[in-house]
C-alpha cells in the first residue's frame, strides 16, 4: 500500500468532513486528496521524475502539507528545510541532496532546475489533473531525506525509505497515540517540517482533524487548546517551558486533552512536574533521532514516576546497550544505546563510510550514553561527545542541567566542559533566568543536589541560550562562545 492509498482511503471514509484547518482555511478529506493529486500530477508534468529530490521551505500551514503528500504520491523525494536555519544551511542541503526542484516563497534564490514560488504553487494545484496520482515505489526506495542537526559536524543527509515511513506510522498507531479516531483533534504548534508533522498522517488516516497554528505564541496556543477542545498535541521541551510561564495557564480548561506528546530533546524533571500540575498526567515522551525518527522508546503518562527515563522500546523496535567493543552490556551498566528495527534509516546520503560506521553490526549506534534497568526501561545519560572528564571522573551534563533547572529562578541551562590546567576539564554552567538570582546562589543550590566532582566551578547568566531549529539547546555553540570570550579577554 502506498502513502497515496492511505490518503485516498481516508477520503472515501470521511469525505467532506474537515481534515485540516489553519487560521480561517479548512480543507475536507476529499479536498486534501484532490489537491495532492493535482499537484503531484503537475510536478510530473513539469518534467520531474520519480526519485528526483525536491527541496521544500514553506511556513507552517496547509500548503506545506499539500506539497509533502503530493511528493509522496508522485514518487518524488522530499528534502525538508526549516525557516529557523540560515540560507547557507538551506543551500548546503539543496546542493548535497542534488535537488532538481525547490518549492518556497523565494524559490528563485536557489540554484535548481525548477523553482516554484507560492503563486506558481497555487496555479499548479489549480491546473493539475484530478486523476489519481499514484506512482509506486518499493519499500526500500527513498521517501524523504532529512538532515542531522549538525551538533557534531556538518549536517548529514539521512535517507528514510518507504519502509521507515510505514514503521513510524505503525509505531504511532500501536503505541504512541493508540485509539485515535473521528472526533479527535490534533493541534500542531511546532513546525510540521519537524517532529509535529509526523503526527499528521496517523491522525488523517484515522479520521481525526489536524489544526495547524501558523506561528507558536504560548498564550495563543493555550487558548487554542481550550477553545478547540484539542485531544492531542506535540511540543518540544523548550516550548513546554515557555507555556508554563504564561500567567493564566491555571485558569484554562484542558480536560479534553488526552496526550501531550514531547520529544526531540531532554526534559528536566522539574518541568515535567510543573507540566503535570497544569495539564494533568497526560505527558507522553517519545525518543528517537534523525536516523530513526521519533520512535525508539516511549514513556507513557502513567510511567513518568520513573524520573529520567526515556521509556521502553516501541513494540517494533529493539534497544540494547553496548560497550566500546560493541559487546552487549548487562542490566544497569552504562554504555552506548543501540537500536534496530524497520524505523532505522537505510543510510546517509552519499556517505558510505559514515553509514557503515553508524550501522555496524546491523545496529544503529545512536551516540547516546545510557543504561537499561531491570524492567526494560531506558535511561539516557547524555550524548557521548558531550561527556565531561574532570579529574578522571565522567560528568554527564544533563544531570547537572536538571539540578540547575529545579531552581525556581532558572528557565534553561547548558553545562559544558572548559579547559582547566589542574582538572583537564572543569564543569561550567550557563543559564537563563526568570527573576533575580546570582551565580553564587546557583552554585550553592547545585552543591546540595549533585556529587562534589560534578558541581560547576563557574556559572554565567545569559539572556537566552542558543538553540537549533528543532529547539534543542546547542552546547556546541555555548562552548564556542565561551572559548571566543576567553580568547578576547586574553
Show the cell assigned to 415.
553545562
C-alpha cell at 124: 499548479
Contact predicate 158/202, CB 8 Å: no
At 489 the pLDDT is: 67
CA-CA distance, 25 to 33, in Å (whole number)? 16
- All cell numbers assigned to 25: 482555511
Query: Cell 529557523 sits at which residue?
Result: 84
161 — alpha (psi -120 to 50), left (phi > 0) or beta? Answer: beta
pLDDT tens digits along 206-251: 999 999 999 999 999 999 999 999 999 999 888 898 899 999 999 9
What local confidence, expressed as pLDDT, does residue 152 receive?
55
Q: How far apart are CA 477 and CA 369, in angstroms?
A: 21
CA distance 453 to 470: 32
> CA of 265: how far to CAs of 157, 294, 382, 419, in Å?
20, 11, 11, 26
Burial of 409 (0-12, 13-18, 19+ CB in 10 A): middle
pLDDT digits (tens, 9 = 90+) for 85-127: 888 889 999 999 999 999 999 989 999 999 999 999 999 999 9
> For the packed helices 237-244 and 218-228, what is the interaxial angle rounded to 10 degrees?
90
Could you say which residues of the chain have pLDDT below 50? none
pLDDT, residue 175, reads 97
Give the total residue count for the chain: 490
What pLDDT score was predicted for residue 425?
Answer: 84
Q: Which domains does the chain have, with CATH numbers?
A: 3-137 (3.40.50.980), 171-383 (3.40.50.12780), 387-489 (3.30.300.30)
Strand partners, 25: 22
Per-residue pLDDT at 287: 94
Residue 188 contacts residue 200 (beta carbons within 8 Å): yes
Nearest to 18 by CA among 204, 201, 202: 204
How would you write 121-174 as a 3-class SS string? Answer: HHHHHHHCCCCCCCCCCCCCCEEEEEECCCCCCCCCEEEEEHHHHHHHHHHHHH
* Cell digits of residue 69: 503528500
pLDDT for res 487? 66
Give the predicted TM-score (pTM) of the model.
Answer: 0.84
Task: Give the ranges where 326-417 is alpha helix by DSSP (H).
Answer: 352-358, 397-405
pLDDT in tens, 6-53: 999 999 999 999 999 999 899 999 999 999 999 999 999 999 999 999
**Residues 104 and 93: beta-carbon distance below 8 Å:** no
Maximum CA extent, the chain: 72
Amino acid at each position: 500500500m502506498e502513502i497515496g492509498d492511505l490518503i485516498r482511503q481516508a477520503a472515501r471514509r470521511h469525505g467532506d468532513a474537515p481534515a485540516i484547518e489553519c487560521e480561517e482555511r479548512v480543507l475536507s478529506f476529499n479536498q486534501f486528496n484532490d489537491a495532492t493529486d493535482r499537484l503531484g500530477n503537475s510536478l510530473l508534468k513539469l518534467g520531474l521524475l520519480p526519485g528526483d529530490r525536491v527541496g521544500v521551505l514553506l511556513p507552517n500551514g496547509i500548503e506545506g502539507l499539500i506539497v509533502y503528500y503530493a511528493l509522496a504520491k508522485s514518487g518524488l523525494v522530499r528534502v525538508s528545510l526549516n525557516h529557523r536555519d540560515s540560507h547557507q544551511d538551506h543551500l548546503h542541503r539543496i546542493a548535497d541532496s542534488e535537488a532538481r526542484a525547490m518549492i518556497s516563497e523565494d524559490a528563485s534564490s536557489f540554484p535548481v532546475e525548477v523553482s516554484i514560488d507560492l503563486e506558481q504553487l497555487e496555479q499548479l494545484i489549480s491546473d493539475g489533473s484530478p486523476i489519481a496520482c499514484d506512482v509506486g515505489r518499493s519499500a526500500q526506495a527513498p521517501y524523504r531525506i532529512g538532515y542531522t542537526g549538525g551538533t557534531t559536524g556538518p549536517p548529514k543527509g539521512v535517507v528514510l525509505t518507504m519502509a521507515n515511513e510505514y514503521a513510524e506510522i505503525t509505531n504511532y498507531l500501536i503505541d504512541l497515540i493508540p485509539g485515535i479516531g473521528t472526533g479527535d483533534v490534533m493541534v500542531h504548534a511546532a513546525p510540521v517540517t519537524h517532529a509535529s508533522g509526523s503526527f499528521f498522517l496517523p491522525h488523517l488516516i484515522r479520521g481525526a482533524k489536524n489544526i495547524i497554528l501558523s506561528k507558536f505564541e504560548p498564550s495563543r496556543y493555550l487558548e487554542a487548546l481550550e477553545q478547540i477542545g484539542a485531544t492531542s498535541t506535540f511540543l518540544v521541551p523548550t516550548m513546554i517551558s515557555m507555556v508554563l510561564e504564561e500567567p493564566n495557564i491555571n485558569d484554562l480548561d484542558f480536560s479534553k486533552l488526552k496526550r501531550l506528546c514531547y520529544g526531540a530533546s531532554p526534559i528536566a524533571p522539574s518541568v515535567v512536574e510543573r507540566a503535570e500540575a497544569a495539564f494533568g498526567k497526560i505527558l507522553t515522551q517519545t525518543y528517537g533521532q534523525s536516523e530513526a525518527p521519533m520512535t525508539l522508546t516511549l514513556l507513557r503518562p502513567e510511567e513518568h514516576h520513573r524520573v529520567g527515563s526515556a521509556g521502553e522500546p516501541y513494540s517494533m523496535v529493539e534497544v540494547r546497550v553496548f560497550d566500546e567493543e560493541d559487546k552487549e552490556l548487562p542490566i544497569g551498566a552504562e554504555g552506548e544505546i543501540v537500536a534496530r528495527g524497520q524505523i532505522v534509516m537505510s543510510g546517509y546520503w552519499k556517505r558510505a563510510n559514515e553509514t557503515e560506521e553508524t550501522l555496524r553490526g546491523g545496529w544503529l549506534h545512536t551516540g547516546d550514553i545510557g543504561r537499561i534497568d531491570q524492567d526494560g526501561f531506558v535511561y539516557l545519560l547524555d550524548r557521548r561527545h558531550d561527556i565531561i572528564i574532570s579529574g578522571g571522573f565522567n560528568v554527564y551534563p544533563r544531570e547537572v542541567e536538571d539540578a540547575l533547572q529545579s531552581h525556581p529562578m532558572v528557565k534553561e541551562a547548558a553545562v559544558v566542559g572548559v579547559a582547566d590546567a589542574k582538572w583537564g576539564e572543569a564543569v561550567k554552567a550557563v543559564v537563563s533566568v526568570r527573576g533575580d538570582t546570582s551565580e553564587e546562589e546557583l552554585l550553592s543550590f547545585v552543591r546540595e543536589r549533585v556529587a562534589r566532582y560534578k558541581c560547576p566551578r563557574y556559572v554565567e547568566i545569559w539572556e537566552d541560550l542558543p538553540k537549533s531549529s528543532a529547539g534543542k539547546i546547542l552546547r556546541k555553540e555555548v562552548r564556542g562562545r565561551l572559548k571566543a570570550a576567553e580568547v578576547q579577554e586574553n
